[in-house]
Amino acid sequence: MTDTEKGLGPIVSASHLAEGNVPALSELEFGMILAWHAFERWMVRCMSAAGIPGLGPLDVLVLHASNHRSRPKTLADLCLVLNVEDTHLVTYSVRKLEKLGLVESGRKGKEKTVSITDTGAQACERYGQIREELLVETIRDFGLSDESLSKMAALLRILSGHYGQAARAAASL
C-alpha cells in the first residue's frame, strides 16, 4: 500500500508542486533530493575514512573521474562526464587535489590535463574497499540485483536528459 493509498498524500518537499498533473514526479524529486544529499555525505565520509579528510563532494567526484581508466582527462572531459556547467568549480577541485598530491596537471596541446597520482590512486582504492564493506554488502543483502540497479541507473540518466532540456528551455524564457 502506497502512502497516497493510506491517505497520507504523496511524500514531497513542496506540496504546491505536487498539485499539478503528475504528483508522483514531486515524490520522485523529493527522493532524488534525499538520495543526492545522502550520497554527498557518503562520498565525503568514505573518503575521510580512506585517509583523505576535508574534501567536498565535487572533489571526490573529480578524484574518481581522474582515476577512471588510468588516463589523463581534460577539464572539458571532467566537466562533461560529471555534468558540471561551471568549469571554475572543477578547476578549483583540481587545484585542491593537486595541493594534496592526489592529481597532477599536464598538457595535451593547449589543453590542461589532469592525471591521478599514485597517492590519489591509493586513496581511490581504499575508498573502494570501504565502499565494498559498508555499502555494497548492504545493497546486496537488501536484494537489489545488478539488473534492477542498472535499470534504475538508466532511468536516472534519461531523467537527467529531460531535466537538462527543461533547464535549457527555462533559461530561454
Q: What pLDDT is stored for residue 153 in this prediction?
A: 96
Q: What pLDDT is stored for residue 97 in this prediction?
A: 98
Residue 7 has pLDDT above 80, yes or no: no
- Per-residue pLDDT of 37-65, as tens digits, reads 999 999 999 999 999 999 999 999 999 99
H runs (alpha helix) in 50-74: 57-67
Cell of 53: 579528510
Average pLDDT of every residue of the chain? 93
Residue ranges per domain, the chain? Answer: 22-142
- For the entire predicted model, the pTM comes to 0.90
Residues near 45 by beta carbon (within 8 Å), at least 6 away in sequence: none
**What is the residue-wise DSSP string for 46-59?**
HHHHTT-TT--HHH
Q: What percent of the chain has pLDDT over 70?
A: 96
Candidates 52, 34, 50; CA nearest to 96 is 52
- Per-residue pLDDT of 106-154, as tens digits, reads 998 899 999 999 999 999 999 999 999 999 989 989 988 899 999 999 9
Class of domain 22-142: mainly alpha
Q: What pLDDT is stored for residue 104 in this prediction?
A: 98
